[in-house]
Structure 1
Amino acid sequence: MSYDAPAPPTPAGRVIGVALALTLVLTVFVLAFSWPSVTAEPHNLPVAVVGSDDAVTALRESLDEAQPGSVELIETDNRADAVAAIGSREVYGGLVLGDPAAGEAPEVLTATAASTATHQLMTQIAAQLQQGIQEQAADATAEALAAAQGGATPPPLPEVPEVTVTDVVPLSADDPRGSGLAAAMFPILLGGMIGGIGISVAVTGALRRVLAVTVYSVVGGGILVGILHFWFGTIQGDWLLDGAALALSIAAIAAPITGFVAVLGSPGIALGPVLMMLVGNPISGAAMPPEFLPWHWGAIGQWMPPGASATLLRDVSYFPDADASAAWLALALWAGAGVLLSVVGHARATGSARRAAALAAPA
């Protein structure tokens, strides 16, 4: 009876090297997923404003003093224009200043469907406006008391108007906090990655993988519409348009993975998820607007599948007047690039097979 000799133990140097390499991977994961939330703050967030030149100038100076560079005020003629700009996603909110001295209370327009982070910022601005009105009223009261003590007839005490906050594009009643919409982004990303990896492993042939990705994306988009639109109610709008956006989002993630595999072989299975998960997801702007990310990462993230899919789904669901062409184009380019890589891989494999057959044929 023979016994197999036990495998020799792994050299200590290799053990340490593997441990350090895995530690590096862990560090990259932690940085990729925590960096956006830790460093997030608004940068030139577009907000519409309606008011006199003096009032707008005073507000701009007040905001620059409280939160330098956080808000970019876009002047509009009236409240209707501000609401229209919010509906087309040109701005994230609006400020209708009115005339507090005449008893006209300012109104803050917000859109929770655009982002809960920007909604919080707009409510903070509302509180800042209210504090300014109260300070002006306190000064007027002090002047009236001083006049009364001096024997003069005091002016009437001003009324303190209340700043109102109006949500012009609210979230679904089934998802009032937007947690369902935000949570749906990760399953779309994960589903696209699982589909691309699973098809790459289980299906042989580059063009057959393209077919599999197409079927997977269409069926998967339909299933997600049934869950997110009809069951949970986290997305709104036209369900066919929602389904098209979901299907294209899945294809834009899965197709590049199968394309990488067609060109690079097995290493392509890892390249796709790394690109989508570690690069695209942190800068997607799914949890917060792109304007909250430093440098140009927010804009770059909108041209990667996680960011484009998050923006597109939010647009077709809540903002039918918004121009979503850039998101459609970005997703189509990624899906098309995946198909093109698969075609290139198919042509290369076919050419290699023909050359091998020619060499093996008898002279």
Structure 2
Amino acid sequence: MTITDVDAPAADAAGPEPHRSTSPTDRYSTRQLLIAVTVGVLLLQLGFITSYVAAFHQPTPRDIPIAVVAEPGLPAGVDQQVVDRLNGIDGHPVSARVAANTYEVRTLIADRQVMGGYVVAGSGPDTLITASAAGSSAATALEGTFTAAGATTGRTFVVRDEKPVGMHDNRGLSGFYLSIGWVVGGYLLAAAIGLVIGAPRTLREAGVHTALMAGYAAASGFLGALIATQLLGTFTGHLLPLSLLGAGVVFGTGMFTMGLRAALGILAVPLAILLFVVLGNPSAGGAFGSNVLPTFYAAIGRWITPGAGTEGVRSIVYFHGTGAGQPIGTLLLYAAVGLALVFGCTARHRARRAG
């Protein structure tokens, strides 16, 4: 009998060697990992620079919706002539339509169907109606567009801000920064849980992580709204709806990041930064509204949580909730996808280990 023959039964009795999880340090050298991390951070940094400069380096108005109305006593068709002339401007900075009267213009602005109006006067200067609360950059762009148009037609106008921003909300940026704060908190907590604890290994752990994120979202949503409304006085009232919105922003962002962590591992953190920071922040419509951003950023902004949060704040504070449906739907989608990834990937990994 050989030594191998004697040892074999003992090995069989002990059963197969237990599965050991491997970390990147088990598969790659320290030098390789340092190079990969450095290159990855460099790519994120260059992406950040490229994205922000591309979005903000040359803001150009595009298809800003406005309504045109002619004062009583003017010849029929004057309003349509103005609409045709405005829609024919090179670059199509505005998308004009005819309104019956100034009451309809104000209603369209309140319903967020247009961002301004133009009243053609029978005598004296015309009136440009803006809504800086819907986007200060769009209101400024309208003034510039009509100033240029007036230089060729000889008409002058005065500006009336129908929906001004609050006196403590400079250029309407406070909602943008409030939303960014909520977003940062959501993905930072998710990233911290993933890096310190790791992805959940059981459905019970997945439930604990989800409950922790939900509690954090509720607390940070309320505290952020409390700071903006009570401590700083940026917004008057709206504490409850802003708290609920903030909780949705934090939970949607955090759960989506946790879902990425469960599905992709450590790659979730740079992907979350790419989505929410590199792409989400410049497209959110804070400093520049969607109608003056490049087409790409205007298209994606409302579908990423920074933009959804910014638009949600604007809708709640200045438009009595009008227009909040789309941002809320976006946040619910991120939360649902995140929950599906967390629990689905956890169940799949558990079944694989059991097999």
Q: Does 1:80 align with 2:99?
A: no
Aligned mates of 2:250, 2:240 — CA distance in 1: 15
1:20-169 matches, within 5 Å, as 23-51=42-70, 53-58=77-82, 60-61=84-85, 64-65=88-89, 67-99=90-122, 103-128=123-148, 131=151, 135=154, 163-169=157-163
Tell me the percent identity: 22
Relative to structure 1, the CA distance from residue 237 to residue 303 in structure 2 (aligned partners, 3 Å threshold; closer, same or farther) is farther
Contact 1:110 1:169 in 2 (8 A): yes
Letter in 1 for 2:264: L
Relative to structure 1, the CA distance from residue 259 to residue 119 in structure 2 (aligned partners, 3 Å threshold; closer, same or farther) is same
1:292-307 matches, within 5 Å, as 292-307=292-307
Q: Give CA-to-partner distance per residue, 1:16-49, whole Å, 9 cap, x none.
A: 9987765544322210121100143122111111
What residue number does 2:216 align with? 216
Aligned mates of 1:352, 1:23 — CA distance in 2: 36
Aligned mates of 1:96, 1:298 — CA distance in 2: 28
Relative to structure 1, the CA distance from residue 306 to residue 171 in structure 2 (aligned partners, 3 Å threshold; closer, same or farther) is same
* Superposed displacement of residue 116, structure 1: 1.1
Contact 1:181 1:234 in 2 (8 A): no
1:210-359 matches, within 5 Å, as 210-236=210-236, 238-320=238-320, 322-355=322-355
Letter in 2 for 1:233: G
Secondary structure of the residue aligned to 2:171 is coil
Secondary structure of the residue aligned to 1:266 is helix
Q: Give CA-to-partner distance per residue, 1:208-250, whole Å, 9 cap, x none.
A: 1111110111000010011011122333453211111111011
Q: Which moved more, 1:54-63 or 1:191-200?
A: 54-63
What is the TM-score normalised by the length of structure 1?
Answer: 0.78
Contact 1:172 1:235 in 2 (8 A): yes
Q: Give CA-to-partner distance per residue, 1:161-200, whole Å, 9 cap, x none.
A: x632111111112224324333323322222221221233
* Superposed displacement of residue 114, structure 1: 1.0
Relative to structure 1, the CA distance from residue 28 to residue 351 in structure 2 (aligned partners, 3 Å threshold; closer, same or farther) is same
What residue number does 1:359 align with? none
Contact 2:61 2:293 in 1 (8 A): yes
Q: Which moved more, 1:40-49 or 1:260-269?
A: 260-269
What residue number does 1:181 align with? 175
Aligned mates of 1:17, 1:192 — CA distance in 2: 26
Aligned mates of 1:272, 1:22 — CA distance in 2: 13
Letter in 1 for 2:109: I
What residue number does 1:194 align with? 188
Q: Give CA-to-partner distance per residue, 1:28-74, whole Å, 9 cap, x none.
A: 22101211001431221111111252344246425644x53110002
What is the TM-score normalised by the length of structure 2?
Answer: 0.79
Secondary structure of the residue aligned to 2:96 is strand
Aligned mates of 2:43, 2:102 — CA distance in 1: 52
Relative to structure 1, the CA distance from residue 177 to residue 306 in structure 2 (aligned partners, 3 Å threshold; closer, same or farther) is closer
Aligned mates of 2:306, 2:59 — CA distance in 1: 18
Aligned mates of 1:306, 1:293 — CA distance in 2: 15
Relative to structure 1, the CA distance from residue 82 to residue 259 in structure 2 (aligned partners, 3 Å threshold; closer, same or farther) is same
Q: Which moved more, 1:248-257 or 1:196-205?
A: 196-205
What residue number does 2:9 align with? none
Q: Give CA-to-partner distance per residue, 1:67-103, whole Å, 9 cap, x none.
A: 531100021111011111111111111111122xxx2
Letter in 2 for 1:283: S
Aligned mates of 2:240, 2:52 — CA distance in 1: 32
Contact 1:129 1:163 in 2 (8 A): no
Q: Give CA-to-partner distance per residue, 1:88-139, whole Å, 9 cap, x none.
A: 111111111122xxx2531111111111101212322453466567x47xxx
Q: Which moved more, 1:119-128 or 1:329-338?
A: 119-128
Aligned mates of 1:132, 1:80 — CA distance in 2: 29
Contact 2:116 2:130 in 1 (8 A): yes
Gaps of 5+ in 2: 1-28, 71-75
What residue number does 1:149 align with? none
RMSD: 2.9
